[in-house]
Structure 1
Amino acid sequence: MIDTVIFDIGKVLMGYSWEKYLHSIVGEDKIAYATLEQAIFLSPCWEEHDKGLMTEEEELWDFISNAPDYEPEIRAVYENLGQCTWPYDYADAWVKELKDKGLKVYALSNWPKHIYDQRRHVMTFLDQMDGCDMSYRTHSNKPDPEAFTGLFEHFGIDPEKAVFIDDNADNIEAAKKLGLHAIRFASYEQAKEELNQLL
């Protein structure tokens, strides 16, 4: 019997896209756009920063080292990186619906502290949850098994009684190997229907 639902956040409960935000910094300069995209969002640094092992200044220099000639622009992008994320309209109601059914609800997500601090105030769905593990606190990113087992240990979760919802295929496979029921998120309607079939 399922008694727990574990959500990823990015692209599941919150939207994530850098295109519009990056254009707000560089306008229609295609070279600057492509350079900053590679230096920041598509850089291996991006996921590494999720682990919360660097200061903000160290993170900045990590990005700047990828395109030193664009230091002012990289600093401008980094200042308000939280603008790349926004809550989905259904997030609060979905979590509330699950809580009203008597389920435990948690979040397990890869987030850097810099962005989390900027966007926590709009992540109101977290206030209804029973707990969350953010990678910057645990220093472990999905799909690393430690990210999952850490959550189990923190909150006493039995993976065989839990459903994990994430948009990332690698994370879904890692979850299944640890005994979790898993739903790969493609849309709210699809994921909700698959979840309801398990409950």
Structure 2
Amino acid sequence: MYKSIIFDLGGVMVDFDPKAYLVDRLCNAAIEEQVYDLTFGSEEWQQLDAGLVSRFNGNSSMLKKAKAAGREFEVQGVLDDWLHILRPRRRMQELVQRLKNHGYSVYYLSNIPQDVLELFQTRGILDNFDGGVASCEVHINKPDPRIYQALLDKYSLRASECVFIDDNLANVQAAFALGFAGIQMKENVGTLVRSLATCNVTLR
């Protein structure tokens, strides 16, 4: 019997599709790929998620590499502007509250930099959760098994009693390997609710 539902944040609770954002912004496939590799897909971005560098130092390093690649203008624009793509999904917030109303515990487990975590806290995006673990706090990113274990340990949870939801298949597979039930968020809330029902997590 599942008792706890665990949600990723970006791409699940909040819109986050950097590749689509770059398509809209740059309208050039080759440049989009290059800028993605210099920003969202970069080592610095991973370090920011893990809380190993500050936003200032991470951005400075990305810009240095972008300048060497002749893409400083484009990367500077992305770093100045990208936060606006993080739009809360109201229906997901409603789902979290419905799950709580039906007696489930709800947590988040997210790869997220410190400044974005603080932004979400300020905006109230995390208010309905019973708790969670952010990568920047434990200095470990998904799909490293240790971050899943950190959540289990922090709240005395059993993986076999948890359902984990993430838009990234590798993260779902890592959770499954540890004994979680795993659901990849692909489309909309209705599809997710049907997937939860296959785990006998019902909202009726």
Q: Tell whether the structures are fold-level matches, with TM greater than 0.5.
A: yes
Following TM superposition, by how much is the alpha carbon of 1:153 offset from its aligned partner in structure 2, in angstroms?
A: 0.6
Structure 1 unaligned segments of length 5 or more: list them: none
Partner of 1:146: 146
Aligned CA distance change for structure 1 residues 81 and 120 (closer, same or farther; 3 Å): farther
Query: Percent same amino acid among aligned pairs?
Result: 27
Aligned CA distance change for structure 1 residues 106 and 189 (closer, same or farther; 3 Å): same
* Alpha-carbon distance in structure 1 between the residues aligned to 2:20 and 2:160: 40
- Tell me if the contact between 2:13 and 2:92 (Cα under 8 Å) persists in the aligned partners: yes
- Tell me if the contact between 1:82 and 1:119 (Cα under 8 Å) persists in the aligned partners: no
Partner of 1:91: 92
Following TM superposition, by how much is the alpha carbon of 1:64 offset from its aligned partner in structure 2, in angstroms?
A: 1.3
- Tell me if the contact between 1:163 and 1:181 (Cα under 8 Å) persists in the aligned partners: yes
Give the RMSD, CA atoms, in angstroms: 2.4
- Tell me if the contact between 1:159 and 1:179 (Cα under 8 Å) persists in the aligned partners: yes
Aligned CA distance change for structure 1 residues 156 and 61 (closer, same or farther; 3 Å): same
Are positions 1:185 and 2:185 aligned together? yes
Partner of 2:42: 43
- Tell me if the contact between 1:21 and 1:83 (Cα under 8 Å) persists in the aligned partners: no
- Tell me if the contact between 1:87 and 1:122 (Cα under 8 Å) persists in the aligned partners: no
Pairing of 1:11-160 with structure 2 (within 5 A): 11-18=11-18, 35-68=34-67, 69-71=70-72, 73-124=74-125, 126-160=126-160
Following TM superposition, by how much is the alpha carbon of 1:190 offset from its aligned partner in structure 2, in angstroms?
A: 1.8
* Alpha-carbon distance in structure 2 between the residues aligned to 1:147 and 1:104: 19
The letter of the residue matching 1:98 is L
Deviations 1:33-67 (A, max 9, x none): 55433311232332232101101221012211321
SS of match in other structure, 2:194: helix
Following TM superposition, by how much is the alpha carbon of 1:79 offset from its aligned partner in structure 2, in angstroms?
A: 3.4
The letter of the residue matching 2:55 is E
- Tell me if the contact between 1:164 and 1:182 (Cα under 8 Å) persists in the aligned partners: yes
Structure 2 unaligned segments of length 5 or more: list them: none
TM-score normalized by structure 2?
Answer: 0.84
* Alpha-carbon distance in structure 1 between the residues aligned to 2:168 and 2:31: 29
* Alpha-carbon distance in structure 1 between the residues aligned to 2:19 and 2:122: 23
Following TM superposition, by how much is the alpha carbon of 1:21 offset from its aligned partner in structure 2, in angstroms?
A: 5.5
